Amino acid sequence: EAQVTQNPRYLITVTGKKLTVTCSQNMNHEYMSWYRQDPGLGLRQIYYSMNVEVTDKGDVPEGYKVSRKEKRNFPLILESPSPNQTSLYFCASSPTAAGEQFFGPGTRLTVL
Amino acid sequence: ILNVEQSPQSLHVQEGDSTNFTCSFPSSNFYALHWYRWETAKSPEALFVMTLNGDEKKKGRISATLNTKEGYSYLYIKGSQPEDSATYLCASLAGSARQLTFGSGTQLTVLP
């Protein structure tokens, strides 16, 4: 089944404790991206990747890192999480940047 | 950062009513316009991707139009059903066509 998977789905952590949210897609898509969703603000892009080893900042990259060592995986790293990073995070993939995005199930992160 | 706006923010309609929402986006450097449907506790799912001025797309009772010269798109739902209740998101791709910017969505509730 074609899908985008994210793990964990839910996470409660404390300020400053490094964490990684994994994202994997099995559709051989070149384009992958991370979004955060906050009430009233819609989806905001954190980082995106056009292909392996090619990553770029989105609209809200501060406090986040990503890597794209393999085509299928695009982990989101929070080196030192802070409470303002409490949010719902979505990973998405697409054949190209212009193509329809296939979203993962979301990760709800709470930083205390 | 592109300014993509959607109106109305929320909408309640009776079952059987037809309705429409608006997405406005910067017309300069336009590349593509996406519509997504996002049900509560699920992930956004693509409805349409449109690229050409005058594009009209249809999927069942839902259709969309695109005016790239004036920078707006309409989403229409004919004969709304309770299962149409969701948040409808539009997203614009512009410039170098690498970064998708979402509006904050229109939350539709269809009352039985």
Residue B87 has which token pair?
């948040």
pLDDT at position B97 is 59
Q: Is B7 on the interface with A (CB under 8 A)?
A: no
Segments of chain B assigned E as strands: 5-7, 10-14, 19-24, 30-38, 45-50, 56-59, 62-67, 72-77, 86-94, 100-102, 106-111
With a cut of 70, say whether residue B59 has pLDDT above it: yes
pLDDT at position B94 is 81
C-alpha distance from B105 to closest chain A C-alpha (Å): 6
Rounded Cα distance between A97 and B17, Å, is: 35
The β-bridge partners of A111 are: A13
C-alpha distance from A56 to closest chain B C-alpha (Å): 9
* Range of lowest pLDDT (A55-69, B5-19, B48-62, B86-100): B86-100
Rounded Cα distance between A93 and A87, Å, is: 20
pLDDT at position B1 is 62
Query: Predicted confidence band at B100 (pLDDT cuts at 50, 70, 90)?
Result: confident
Could you check whether the bond before residue A8 is cis, i.e. omega within 30 degrees of 0? yes
Evaluate whether A70 touches A81 at the Cβ level (below 8 Å). no
Counting as low any pLDDT under 50, the low residues of chain A are: none
**Residues of chain A positioned with their CB less than 8 A from the CB of B107:** none
Query: Predicted confidence band at B28 (pLDDT cuts at 50, 70, 90)?
Result: confident
Give CA A37 to chain center in angstroms. 11
pLDDT at position A39 is 86
C-alpha distance from A96 to closest chain B C-alpha (Å): 8
With a cut of 80, say whether residue B95 has pLDDT above it: no
**Residues of chain A positioned with their CB less than 8 A from the CB of B68:** none
Which chain B residue is nearest to residue A3, measuring alpha carbons? B43
- C-alpha angle with apex A32: B59 to B9, nearest 5 degrees? 50
Residues B31-53 have a mean pLDDT of 94
Could you write out the DSSP letters of every residue in A33-95? EEEEEETTTEEEEEEEEEETTEEEE-S--TT-EE--SSSSB--EEESS--GGG-EEEEEEEES
pLDDT at position B106 is 96
Q: Is B66 on the interface with A (CB under 8 A)?
A: no
Which chain A residue is nearest to residue B51, measuring alpha carbons? A98
Determine whether the interchain pair B102/A42 forms a contact, defined as Cβ–Cβ distance below 8 Å: yes
Residues B98-111 have a mean pLDDT of 92
C-alpha distance from A78 to closest chain B C-alpha (Å): 21
Determine whether the interchain pair A97/B97 forms a contact, defined as Cβ–Cβ distance below 8 Å: yes
Q: Output the CA–CA distances (angstroms, integers) from residue B6 to A10, A75, B85, B108, in the order listed.
A: 29, 31, 17, 12
* Range of lowest pLDDT (A37-41, A67-71, B16-20, B42-46): A37-41
